[in-house]
């Protein structure tokens, strides 16, 4: 009887210890992702959007096409060498596969086009917008509008929007706000660059590459960088990206490509510095903003 009592007591103690141990362990399942508001034309919330995991692509009928598009966007220079002149990938500017806020995401891209763009002063469709990036940010050549590469890139963006209707949008922005009243100082910007940017982009803005020669961090000036016609060659537009998405590896918690490290003034200063360094020309720039209203930070 005494032996049974002791065994029962030991079992109770062991069970209690096990329960206590389990209670101190982290949950095995991640918390449910928070949805983002879907807004209609009147900015009223009409639903919630959840960033899909890539594993969901496998359930799509055009899985191969979507995955090809995702690869092209992430590894553009290596996979499309005839179309990319710079040492850049699409995702050099569209952080984390275009999935996050204020870092040139792809979530709303399909729903934004076609649209009238001030720089062209005409309606531009999505194929035209993508090719604009190839010619300016990539300093390269346009893709075949009807080719498999173009269709694959758009297929990835279509999948990422998760059937949000064309007249609605997910409540994320391409770039965060920057104070454009600030006066840029390139001398201060050079110091910011040396302290905060050169470790990834190189002391001379030449970028960094892996052992195979593939780009890790893109060049910010020089022959292998974006040309003067790129949006990133404008001080305040570049400062938006720098402020809200750089540096990509700074955050030990949170997501890749979410900045908030520099002040507005630091972001404007460093952007003035690197945007005004030598870079390839873009001859068709002569046709930009034919109706006027050229932004004050355009260099031509």
CA 116 from centroid of its chain's CA atoms: 23
pTM reported for the whole predicted model: 0.86
Q: Where are the alpha helices (DSSP H) in the chain?
A: 2-24, 63-74, 76-79, 95-98, 109-112, 126-135, 148-161, 186-192, 198-201, 235-245, 264-275
DSSP secondary structure code for residue 36 in this structure: E
List the Cα angle 265/268/113 in 5-degree steps: 130
Using DSSP, state whether 157 is helix, strand or coil: helix
Q: What is the pLDDT of residue 27?
A: 54
Q: Which residue has the tokens 């990539």?
A: 138
Q: What share of the chain is helix, strand, coil (3-state, %, to 5)?
A: 40, 10, 50
Give me 231's structure tokens.
């949006």
Q: What is the pLDDT of residue 31?
A: 61
Q: What is the pLDDT of residue 21?
A: 45
Q: What is the pLDDT of residue 260?
A: 78
Per-residue pLDDT for the chain (300 aa), expressed as one digit of tens each? 445 544 455 554 554 554 454 445 545 565 666 799 999 999 999 999 999 999 999 999 999 999 999 999 999 999 999 999 999 999 999 998 999 888 999 999 999 999 999 999 999 999 999 999 999 999 999 999 999 999 999 999 999 999 999 999 999 999 999 999 999 999 999 999 999 999 999 999 999 999 999 999 999 999 999 999 999 999 999 999 999 999 876 555 556 666 778 999 999 999 999 999 999 999 999 999 999 999 999 989
Task: Kindly report the number of other CB atoms within 10 A of residue 159's CB atom.
Answer: 23
Query: Helices 126-135 and 148-161: crossing angle, nearest 10°?
Result: 120
Task: Kindly report the number of other CB atoms within 10 A of residue 56's CB atom.
Answer: 12
Q: What is the pLDDT of residue 247?
A: 83
In the chain, what are the domains?
Answer: 53-166 (1.10.760.10), 186-287 (1.10.760.10)
List the Cα angle 202/208/210 in 5-degree steps: 155
């Amino acid at each position: 009887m005494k032996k049974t009592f002791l065994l029962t007591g030991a079992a109770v103690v062991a069970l209690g210890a096990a329960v206590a141990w389990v209670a101190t362990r982290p949950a095995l399942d991640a918390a449910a992702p928070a949805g983002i508001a879907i807004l209609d034309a009147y900015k009223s919330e009409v639903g919630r959007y959840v960033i899909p995991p890539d594993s969901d692509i496998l359930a799509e009928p055009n899985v191969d096409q979507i995955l090809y598009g995702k690869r092209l966007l992430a590894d553009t220079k290596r996979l499309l060498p005839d179309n990319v002149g710079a040492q850049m990938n699409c995702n050099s500017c569209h952080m984390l596969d275009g999935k996050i806020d204020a870092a040139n995401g792809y979530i709303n891209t399909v729903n934004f086009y076609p649209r009238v763009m001030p720089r062209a002063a005409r309606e531009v469709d999505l194929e035209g917008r993508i090719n604009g990036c190839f010619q300016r940010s990539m300093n390269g050549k346009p893709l075949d509008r009807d080719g498999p590469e173009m269709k694959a890139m758009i297929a990835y963006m279509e999948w990422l929007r998760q059937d949000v209707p064309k007249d609605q949008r997910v409540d994320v922005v391409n770039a965060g706000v920057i104070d454009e009243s600030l006066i840029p100082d390139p001398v201060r910007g050079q110091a910011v660059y040396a302290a905060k940017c050169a470790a990834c982009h190189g002391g001379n803005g030449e970028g960094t590459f892996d052992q195979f020669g593939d780009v890790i961090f893109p060049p910010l000036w020089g022959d292998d960088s974006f040309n003067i016609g790129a949006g990133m060659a404008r001080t305040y537009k570049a400062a938006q990206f720098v402020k809200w998405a750089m540096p990509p590896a700074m955050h030990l918690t949170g997501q890749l490509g979410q900045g908030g490290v520099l002040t507005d003034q630091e972001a404007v200063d460093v952007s003035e510095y690197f945007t005004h360094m030598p870079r390839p020309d873009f001859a068709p720039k002569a046709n930009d903003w034919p109706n006027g209203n050229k932004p004050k930070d355009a260099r031509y």
